[in-house]
A = this chain, B = another copy of it.
Amino acid sequence: MLELRLVQGSLLKKVMEAIKDLVNDANFDCSATGFSLQAMDSSHVALVSLLLRSEGFEHYRCDRNISMGMNLNNMSKMLKCAGNDDIITIKADDGSDTVTFMFESPTQDKISDFEMKLMDIDSEHLGIPEAEYHAIVRMPSAEFARICKDLSSIGDTVVISVSKEGVKFSTRGDIGTANIVCRQNTTVDKPEEATIIEMNEPVSLTFALRYMNSFTKGTPLSNMVTISLSSELPVVVEYKIAEMGYIRFYLAPKIEEDEDETRPQA
C-alpha cells in the first residue's frame, strides 16, 4: 500500500507543468527514500530526473518498492483540478491498476478523489554517474527563462560560454545575431537575485533552444536555476523543489556546431 500526503500540493501541480510537455508517459518510482521519476523526452534527446524525498511529505507510507506507469498529460489534467492551497494525497493499493489523487481544501469543506488508470511502460532506467563539471552557473530562474525565450526569437541554438567574469548566451539567425552577458554578481540585496559562477576551466557549448525553453517550464518551482556544464557531458539544468528534492534536465551539447561556436561571439 502506498499513501503519500503532501501538504503543499501546489508543488506537485508545478512539477507536472514542468515535465508534461517534455514527457508523455513515465514510470513514477516509489520507495522508502522518496517518490521519483526518470524519463527521456518523447524524441529521446533530453532526460528528466525528478526526486521528492520522503521527508518532504507530511505522511509517507510505501510498504514495498513500486513503479507506477502514468500518462503525464492525464495526470496533469487531474492535478489541475486541485486548488493551489489543497493538500494532495497519492494513494494506491497493492496490485491495483489505478492510482488515486485526493485533494483536500484547507477548510476540509471540499474533498475530491480522482482515480486514474495505470499503464505498463517499458522501464529504461539509466544510471547517471556523479560528475565533475567545468563550470557551474547559479542564476535567477526567471532571468534564464527570459534569455532562452528572447534568443528563440532570433535563432534555434544557444551557445553558452562561461568565463570568470560571467556567462554569455549567444545565437544567430536569419535576421542577425545576439549576445547576452550576465555578470557574476554576489553582492545583491536578495540572495535569489545573485548570479554565481564556479569555474574550473572556461567552457563554451551549443544547445538546441527548443529544449532549453522546455526546461524553463520548471521556473515556477524555484527562484534559482543551476546550470552545470562540461565539454564532454550533457548540461544539467536543475530546479530545487522547496527543501524536498529537485527536478533535473539533461541535454547533450550539439557537437556538429562546434566550429560555429565562436561565430556569434564576435
Q: Interface residues, chain A, CB within 8 Å of chain B?
A: 71, 74, 77-78, 80-81, 98, 107-117, 143, 150-151, 153-154, 175-183, 185, 195
Contacts and interface: CB of A to CB of B under 8 A. Distances in A.
B112 A175 contact: no
Contacts of A185: 107, 109
A17 to B, nearest CB: 14
26 contacts: A71-B175, A74-B175, A74-B176, A77-B153, A77-B154, A78-B153, A78-B154, A78-B175, A80-B153, A81-B150, A81-B151, A81-B180, A109-B183, A109-B185, A110-B183, A111-B181, A112-B179, A112-B180, A113-B178, A113-B179, A114-B154, A114-B177, A115-B177, A115-B178, A116-B175, A116-B176
Contacts of A111: 180-181, 183
A184 B185 CA distance: 54
Dominant SS at the A interface? strand
B114 A80 contact: no
Nearest to A176: B116
Contacts of A78: 153-154, 175-176, 178
Contact of A81 (B107, B113, B178): B178
Nearest to A143: B110
A154 B117 CA distance: 12
A204 to B, nearest CB: 17
A66 B81 CA distance: 46
A178 B114 contact: yes
Closest 9 interchain pairs by CB?
A81-B150, A116-B176, A74-B175, A112-B180, A77-B153, A114-B178, A113-B179, A109-B185, A115-B176
Nearest to A103: B180
Given A110-B143, A181-B112, A185-B109, A117 B175 contact: yes
